[in-house]
């Protein structure tokens, strides 16, 4: 669906908050916030270009996954997770203090001792030490001939957010009766018989209509 430059600018101008919300979810993962926000803005522009309001979805439902995709590209395309310049500088300074402390104690200092010397929290000291460590691949190898893939299942809050927004957008796009049916069945946990009574339908009608609605929602997702 083609749209005028004015419409695109309106969508972009009104939705910078989405970019900030998405970028904030990636804070503390090694990338500068400005880089996250810039990537998110690229996603917002792409979403504004391609959004088709005739499909009945809210713009935010369509835009959030696009914005998150562009932000994730920073980490995906960069290979190892990128560490921000400011954090790197702090880590280098901390390692210098750590070496001095090791010479004083004639042993490797603990995280608590380093934190006390730096005048920061233990958690902050641990982060600086971690930043200074070399990147370890999740494909670990005991020797050159025997590699083991470490599959670590981690749920992604960003994907959950985009999935939930997409789902709510689909529900909002349903007509009133279909939306009520889905709400009764899946949000209030009513049986098909109770739902039929609420909607003045037969249980068979509810069953058939529910299948049609769910099929259409899956296709749109």
d(CA 182, CA 166): 15
pLDDT at 162: 62
Residue in 168, 174, 161, 172 with CA at minimum distance from that of residue 66: 161
pTM for the whole structure: 0.40
Answer yes or no: are the C-beta atoms of 114 and 94 closer than 8 Å. Answer: yes
Residue in 21, 28, 25 with CA at minimum distance from that of residue 63: 21
Which residues are CB-neighbours of 92 under 8 A, at least 6 positions away?
132
**pLDDT tens digit at each of 221 positions of the chain:** 445 677 878 888 888 888 888 888 888 777 788 888 888 888 888 888 888 887 777 888 888 888 988 888 887 765 444 556 777 788 888 888 888 888 888 888 887 788 888 888 766 776 677 666 554 444 444 444 444 444 434 445 555 666 676 777 778 778 889 989 998 988 888 888 999 999 999 999 999 999 999 888 887 76
Instruction: Read off φ and ψ for residue 139, nearest 5 degrees.
Output: -100, 90
């Amino acid at each position: 669906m083609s749209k005028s430059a004015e419409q695109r600018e309106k969508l972009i101008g009104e939705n910078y908050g989405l970019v900030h919300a998405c970028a904030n979810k990636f804070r503390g993962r090694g990338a500068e916030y400005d880089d996250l926000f810039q990537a998110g803005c690229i996603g917002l522009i792409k979403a504004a270009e391609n959004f088709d309001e005739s499909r009945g979805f809210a713009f935010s439902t369509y835009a959030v996954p696009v914005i998150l995709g562009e932000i994730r590209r920073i980490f995906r395309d960069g290979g190892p997770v990128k560490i921000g310049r400011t954090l790197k500088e702090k880590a280098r300074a901390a390692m210098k203090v750590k070496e001095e402390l090791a010479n004083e104690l004639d042993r490797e200092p603990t995280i608590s001792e380093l934190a006390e010397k730096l005048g920061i929290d233990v958690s902050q000291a641990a982060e600086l030490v971690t930043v200074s460590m070399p990147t370890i691949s999740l494909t670990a190898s005991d020797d050159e001939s025997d590699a083991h893939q470490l599959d670590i299942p981690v749920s992604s809050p960003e994907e959950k957010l985009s999935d939930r927004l997409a789902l709510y957008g689909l529900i909002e796009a349903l007509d009133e009766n279909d939306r009520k049916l889905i709400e009764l069945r899946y949000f209030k946990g009513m049986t098909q018989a109770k739902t039929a009574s609420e909607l003045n339908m037969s249980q068979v009608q509810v069953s058939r209509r529910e299948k049609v609605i769910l099929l259409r929602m899956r296709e749109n997702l």
